[in-house]
Amino acid sequence: NYVGALQQWVKIQDGATSATDLLFSIVDLHAMTLPYDQARLRLQKRQTLAALLAVGLDPQRSTIFFQSAVPAHTELMWILSCTASVGYLSRMTQWKSKLAMSDNVALSDPDTKAKLKLGLFSYPVLQSADILLYRATHVPVGHDQVQHLEFARENAKNFNTAHGHFFPEPQTVMSPVKRIMSLKDPRFKMSKSHEDMKSRILLNDTPDSIRVKIKAALTDSIDGLSYDPIGRPGVSNLLALMSYLDTSHRSVVQITAECQGLSMRAFKDEVAKTLIEGLTDLRERYEYFMSAAQSQYLQEVVTAGKKKAGSKADETMILVRRMIGVDQL
């Protein structure tokens, strides 16, 4: 998330004009689509907020808020659901991947019927509401979220066709960074929800933890180093990670050349060293915001964000209710 999304968000914030509204929502309702622990969810909300502040999002410039604090998100979701396509939702890949199902599985499949819950199936509609509620024109996303933004545009079109033109069709702002893959299985993207903690690097990982995870990362037995995501996905993933977090801003080509004579063990030591150096300042800022002394400040940030986001959401919903015929008599 840091390499693929958060760095991009900060660049957008720092380069935006003063007339540009910037909203960043911590989407805690989306965390409920699979079984979860309530206490852990509360902690993860705080951790996410601390991470956003640590990477450089500025509450004085950007509106940062919890999705659940603005009820209009779920109200608009229902309204959009009334014109959303079940067929479109059934073809989306996220619910299939979260349930470890093949991309071509059908809703009529008995295993699908047993496992799939409505929340997981329909959460892209809520994601559309998250975007359209603020009539967003541009949305920064990673490569794995492109399909969801396309669905948001589809929902905007459906609403506009049914009730008259109102919602803009949000444009995709792609991250220049391709997906970071799992350390344990580089065929799949690195995910904070994966059951194996060694599959990912966290912002608050200690240097020792990073060394252990990189040492255990899946590579291969081929001599030398080469960047070949298809033939050598594990090694290529480590080279890409080094490049993204290198404080000297070396390219993959430069790193490959400089590390060419190293054994795999020595190469992994270099990877760990680069990651530790690249994440040290960020980890220290994260720990600062996670400290008990900053609890009041974190609450002030989300309270102000709730007020700003809620005001914008109310403006939209007054007009939406009027358009669909459920405004006050």
Give the residue numbers marked as catalytic: 98, 189, 192
Supply 316's token pair: 């939209």
DSSP-assigned letters across all residues of 226-295: ---TTT-HHHHHHHHHHHHH-TT---HHHHHHHTTTS-HHHHHHHHHHHHHHHHHHHHHHHHHHHSGGGH
CB 202 within 8 A of CB 227: no
Per the CB < 8 A criterion, the answer to whether 215 and 272 are in contact is yes
- Residue 148 CB contacts under 8 Å (≥ 6 apart), including other chains: 92, 94, 124, 127, 128, 141
Q: How far apart are CA 174 and CA 220, in angstroms?
A: 31
The alpha carbon of 237 is separated from its chain's Cα centroid by a whole number of angstroms, namely 19
Count of other CB atoms within 10 angstroms of residue 279: 20
Q: Which residues contact 135 (CB under 8 A, 6 or more apart)?
A: 167, 168, 316
Residue 317 CB partners (closer than 8 Å, separation 6+)? 72, 75, 76, 133
Residue 140 bridge partners (DSSP): 173
Q: Which of 328, 326, 314, 329 is nearest to 82 (CA)?
A: 326
